[in-house]
Amino acid sequence: MNHDRAKHLLYAYADRQIGIMRRFFLRRHVTGCPSCLAELETIQATRSALRTNLPMHRAPPALAARIASALPREMAPPIPRQRLHFGFAGGSLAGGLAGVALTLAVTRVVPPADPLVADVVADHVRSMMADHLTDVPTSDQHTVKPWLSARLDLSPVVKDFVAEGYPLIGGRLDYVDGHRAAAIVYRRDKHVINLFAFVANDRSDAPLRLDTRDGFNVVRWRTGGLSYVAVSDVEAAQLLAFVHLVESG
């Protein structure tokens, strides 16, 4: 994605109004473009400040009633009497319409895709497709942690769990949910595990939550003022075992 196109899409990206593929290529551009990264951070900071500092005024309850009473009421057209006499075909039609209504009802209660989960899965895929898995490729936790802490305002958990089957292979800088993030990279057999750590707006502790998207498992939690998200295509039980190792570290 070229610079002009990426810059034009930054506001839509911040509003989560672009699809996963365009979001993927835009994120790849932003992570390598200091000017776009700075502008996106400014957009995110401005919107966060507006949400936090601007007062919100609710309209008085009587206003909704006045607006509703001023709107013209629509009357349903009368149903011709002959339509009430369904034969065998009419009964089938009624059953079919009921089935459609039930399908629509079920569809409406399906929750929308979680944008954070979509974000980290796209990051995970991008890190492997772009051959940019690590900025500092080493299994030495005493190298990875200081390297990340020197470039970010956070100090994430970095341990080498090689004895438990999760060797550390390095770290890199990334961008998650509108925040600069540390990505600590591990392997499980032939699978890659990306562990993201960042300072989110909500710094309260939160328990583990497991999600699945596009064949990837995602575990997230908050502790010590940091948000952590682990993503991989390993089995959920193996990813949870890894997360418990990180928590104990």
Question: How do residues 6-18 score in pLDDT, each as one tens digit?
Answer: 787 888 777 767 7
Instruction: Report pLDDT digits (tens) over 185-198.
Output: 999 999 999 999 99
- Residue 45 in any domain: the answer is yes
Mean pLDDT in the chain?
79
Instruction: Report pLDDT digits (tens) over 41-72.
Output: 887 777 666 666 666 666 666 666 676 666 66
Among residues 157, 197, 158, 191, the alpha carbon closest in space to that of 174 is found at 197
pLDDT class for 140, splitting at 50, 70, 90?
very high
- Residue 207 in any domain: the answer is yes
The domain of 11 spans 1-50
Average pLDDT over every residue of 105-113:
48
- Residue 84 in any domain: the answer is no
pLDDT class for 95, splitting at 50, 70, 90?
low
- Residue 42 in any domain: the answer is yes
Average pLDDT over every residue of 76-100:
50
pLDDT at 179: 85
Geometric angle at alpha carbon 180, from 179 and 186, rounded to 5°: 115
Could you tell me the pTM of the whole model? 0.59
- Residue 148 in any domain: the answer is yes
Q: Which residues, other chains included, contact 53 with Cβ-Cβ below 8 Å and sequence gap of 6+?
A: none
Portion of the chain with pLDDT greater than 90, in percent? 37
Q: What's the domain count of the chain?
A: 2
pLDDT at 109: 44
Give me the CATH number covering residue 209: 3.30.200.100
